[in-house]
Structure 1
């Protein structure tokens, strides 16, 4: 059983077109509306793979009602805290060739009472004793202090569940001392956390090691098209899964985290599952999450021989 919490969820509207021309009227060839937010996407990917999951969310307004309805239609259990503000709506414009322009709304501001209710909802006595992982994902909305995730990690650890944390900036740094079981930064978030550029695979290994020294038990680092790293007590591994063409990278990192947790959340096998899920996700439209039929495990390569000198693209 994997529970996700998304403090700032969204509805994600994606428009697909040939080429975006700024300042002109652009007509989409296709469009879709999906439940959004990092933890929401993790729950969607887990459900698509046949895992049990509950999505914990603050929801408000018509957009919040629609988000909950879309998730339930996909077979996902929803545990919601009603808030006075409206759930945000984000827009992505996906061009042929894989370029994606995103406009993310700031989202509602949570009151102190709403924040406390959200913390209370994820206590073990509310969600049961069979929770294996709690995935804490995404940015914090206005009204929640950077230490909010740290408090949540400490609270859930005391109940015995393992914690996966996918956030950035002050919220990530504040939570490290609570010793989350795995953190999942991307290259830019790694660089921000350690205060220096990450230009090579070796730089990413060093940055991940620094996060571990600050408290993270494992670091699952996404390097985009250059693959992923897993740095843990048991060992360090690097993996890649090339794809022929990228259709949309929206939610690909969330699909990777779902694959990692669904495969046990530790070791090279879980890293391989993360890579397979991420590679499948970028070949799907919008933020569609992959099913087992979309995965290509044979395309994944994982090794303990990490190419430290390899430069990172972009």
Structure 2
């Protein structure tokens, strides 16, 4: 069972346009609306690929009702915590050239909400079958406790689960110091949190802090797999793709979590699949979905990366 915790879920609105006319009034087609947030996107991909999964998230207000109804319609299992603040909204404007995202910050949760959310996460891990994996993905709402990511990792440890964290800033460093098994920042988040001259050096530093693995997204330059010690690998597609990049990193996290749940040990194969799923997400119109990744696998090269730390 893979449990995805999304502390800051969203109701996603996606507009597909031929072009975005900034500063002008523009008629647009109806938005496509669905439950989102990075952990929810991870769960959707895993669910569509046949993995047992459960979404855990706080929801509130009319937007929270729409969020819940959409997960029900999609058949994605969930354990949702009712909270007072309304679920935030995000807007993705997708054109052939680029994707523009407008993301609300998310309202603070009460201390009791955090306690209840972690208890709900623990219960979801206990109720599942198979090798448990906990994925905590996305931003945190304003005012989140400084130690919340350490508490998330502790919940995974208590339930014998592997823990994957995809977040940013100080919360990323807290997750590393707590010993998360896998961290998945993009290169901007990585350098902002750790510093250093390049993403590989920063990823190695972060991996050594956690004692686990760091998968670092480099955008069109591919995906790095950096352990605390040992060879660094990079996977890269032969050419960049056009489409909706919003859920690309989430699809990579889904592939990594799925491999952990199945106890896969072929590092290069897991990295290639994560890269293929990420690319397949760009070809899907909505975050949380992927096109068929199989045709992309033969276009991916996995190779050793020279580590400046060595």
Structures share fold, TM-score greater than 0.5? yes
CA distance in structure 2 between the aligned counterparts of 1:4 and 1:177, rounded to whole angstroms: 21
Superposition map of 1:30-69 within 5 A: 31-69=31-69
Residue 212 of structure 2 is aligned with which of 217, 230, 241? 217
1:258 correspondence with 2:275: no
The 3 A distance-change label for structure 1 pair 237 and 60 is same
What CA deviation, in whole Å up to 9, does each residue of 1:92-113 have, x standing for no partner? 111222x111111121220111
Shift of 1:263: 2.7
Q: Any residues of structure 2 matched to 1:188-203 within 5 Å, and which?
A: 188-197=188-197, 203=198
SS at match of 1:263: helix
Higher alpha-carbon deviation: 84-93 or 210-219: 210-219
Partner Cα separation in structure 1 for residue 124 and residue 297 of structure 2: 38
Moved more, 28-37 or 53-62: 28-37
CA contact (8 A) 1:277 1:295 kept: no
Matched position secondary structure for 1:177: helix
Matched, 1:277 2:277: yes
SS at match of 2:89: strand
Q: CA deviation at 1:307?
A: 5.6
Against the structure 1 CA distance between its residues 156 and 245, is the aligned structure 2 distance closer, same or farther, given a 3 Å change threshold? closer
Provide TM-score, normalisation by structure 1.
0.90
Q: How far apart are the structure 2 equivalents of 1:183 and 1:31?
A: 32
Structure 2 Cα separation of the partners of residues 183 and 26 of structure 1: 40
Query: How far apart in 2 are the matches of 1:137 and 1:86?
Result: 19
**Aligned mates of 1:3, 1:271 — CA distance in 2:** 21
1:41 positional shift: 0.3
Give, in angstroms, the shift of residue 71 of structure 1.
1.3
Aligned-pair distance for 1:42? 0.2
Q: Deviations over 1:57-79 (max 9, x none)?
A: 10101111111111122221110
**Partner of residue 245 from structure 2, selected from 239, 244, 249:** 249
Secondary structure in 2 aligned to 1:230?
strand
Match of 1:122 in 2: 121
Q: Aligned partners of 2:32 and 2:147: how far apart in 1?
A: 35
Matches within 5 A, 1:142-157: 142-157=142-157
Q: Which moved further from structure 2: 67-76 or 53-62?
A: 67-76
CA distance in 2, matches of 1:216, 1:297: 29
Q: How does 1:87-106 map to 2 (within 5 A)?
A: 87-97=87-97, 99-106=98-105
Q: Distance in 1 between matches of 2:220 and 2:30?
A: 25
Structure 2 CA distance for partners of 1:87 and 1:254, relative to 1, 3 Å: same
Structure 2 regions of 5+ residues with no counterpart? none
Per-residue deviation at 1:28? 2.5
- Scaled by the length of structure 2, the TM-score of the pair is 0.91
Q: State the distance in 2 between where 1:243 and 1:284 align.
A: 17
Please show how residues 178-197 of structure 1 align to structure 2 within 5 Å. Answer: 178-197=178-197
Q: CA deviation at 1:293?
A: 6.1
- State the partner residue of 1:77: 77
> Aligned partners of 2:195, 2:41: CA distance in 1, in Å?
29
Deviation at 1:126, TM superposition (A): 6.3
Query: For structure 1, which runs of at least 5 residues remain unmatched after alignment?
Result: 198-202, 310-314
The ranges of structure 1 where at least 4 consecutive aligned residues each deviate by more than 4 angstroms after the TM superposition are 291-295
C-alpha RMSD of the superposition? 2.0
Match of 2:90, SS?
A: strand
Q: Name the CA distance, whole Å, in 1 between partners of 2:124 and 2:65.
A: 25
